[in-house]
Structure 1
């Protein structure tokens, strides 16, 4: 079977779990550090850059046939895209209610902590708040869903699946996704110091793991990586809406 990798990479890699592990190492470890730095400095520009890199990585390593193999193709089930969006939205709302029930308005609530990065001014007018929401929601529904899904549910999943099977690959890419998100919530920078909220972090990681599995299922149901991207976009929309209007 011909390798989906571009000819340049074939002497160095096979399309297997070793490539997947390599990609996780070169993207997720720097990303983890950059997110922690951004939370401390409030400079989130590098996060946008790492999302762009994540989106480009698959096309650096694989060509057109390889891209189709990891799901970059037209959906075979278009109605599943609507289900994908609704599923992502519902997951975000469910995670809001869990956080509100357990931790209310404290920084142990994942949405409260993530929400501080949006820098919503106190006393902002409803009109300006709506504009800011539209900007943040639009950004959140484009950059991270495309970058993360092409990376995690795309090339990382595909490389593991090629040697370990689809089910195990989905568990691995979901675990990588969930653990990477500890930098977004878990290790928190509050009032000039770092804290680690053990139980909230465990809940958050489990939630991110389960959400990732749903992203993969939406990819499978739609027959395209677009299903995962749209589900992720729905999740981000729901999360940002909750942060802006319900906290």
Structure 2
């Protein structure tokens, strides 16, 4: 069997469900706590550190063959990048539309709640700087979480579970882990100096994040490369930023 981990780790680590579960918890729990704290304080700097750690993980632990195993390779079907981009954009539009239809401009609307965490000026000249802030937040949203989360969830964690499970079943696991982690972004709400948990909106949000994750997996399969998932995730985030800045704020 080919070794996929760096020499100093190959006797200790291998792709299996035990490692996959460890990674889900090792990254998911700290990230969950940090995001909840950021919802309270408005300071998201530590979340960037978590995402950078996700970026670095495959390069620290895996050799070249291991990185190829998790999808770090040139896309075989570049047209799949286009389909992944369209799918990510369309699904984010659906996420916005459902939130607006069900909950309007209230904090039970996932994108309205998330928009409250954006550090933007609340002054009369906001219209003059709206597009600049959209570019800043949009570019940032396309870099940190899409690269980090896709390398971790659709890459490393997925490969751990696909060792014993079929590709589709492994995707169900990494998608569920991804979706539950996003409860920290919406579902457990910090409102008027106290915490709330709104079950139905939270459940809808988790389901939407699960299916978003499945779209990112499909985009990876379409291109035979993690780049497909990263690009689909990136345009999803950019589209979300567009709706926040031009339809909510």
- Please tell me whether the aligned partners of residues 87 and 234 of structure 1 are also in contact (alpha carbons under 8 angstroms): no
**SS of equivalent residue, structure 1 residue 181:** helix
Q: TM-score, normalised by structure 2?
A: 0.97
- Output aligned runs, 1:45-194, within 5 Å: 45-122=45-122, 123-194=124-195
Aligned-residue CA RMSD (Å): 1.0
1:32-79 Cα distance to aligned partner (Å, 9 max, x none): 001011111111100111010111112222111110111100000111
Q: Say if 2:50 is the partner of 1:29.
A: no
In the other structure, the counterpart of 1:4 is 4
In the other structure, the counterpart of 1:204 is 205
**SS of equivalent residue, structure 2 residue 189:** strand
1:126-177 Cα distance to aligned partner (Å, 9 max, x none): 3311101000000001111000000100101011111222111100000000
**Post-superposition, which runs of at least 4 consecutive aligned residues in structure 1 deviate over 4 A?**
none
- Please tell me whether the aligned partners of residues 171 and 214 of structure 2 are also in contact (alpha carbons under 8 angstroms): yes
5+ long unaligned stretches in structure 1: none
**SS of equivalent residue, structure 1 residue 204:** helix
Aligned residues: 247
In the other structure, the counterpart of 2:242 is 241
- Please tell me whether the aligned partners of residues 170 and 213 of structure 1 are also in contact (alpha carbons under 8 angstroms): yes
- Please tell me whether the aligned partners of residues 17 and 164 of structure 1 are also in contact (alpha carbons under 8 angstroms): no
Residue 27 of structure 1 and its aligned partner are, at CA, apart by: 0.6
1:198-245 Cα distance to aligned partner (Å, 9 max, x none): 000000000000110010000000111000000001100111100001
Once residues 52 and 98 of structure 2 are traced to their aligned partners in structure 1, the CA distance between those partners, rounded to angstroms, is 31
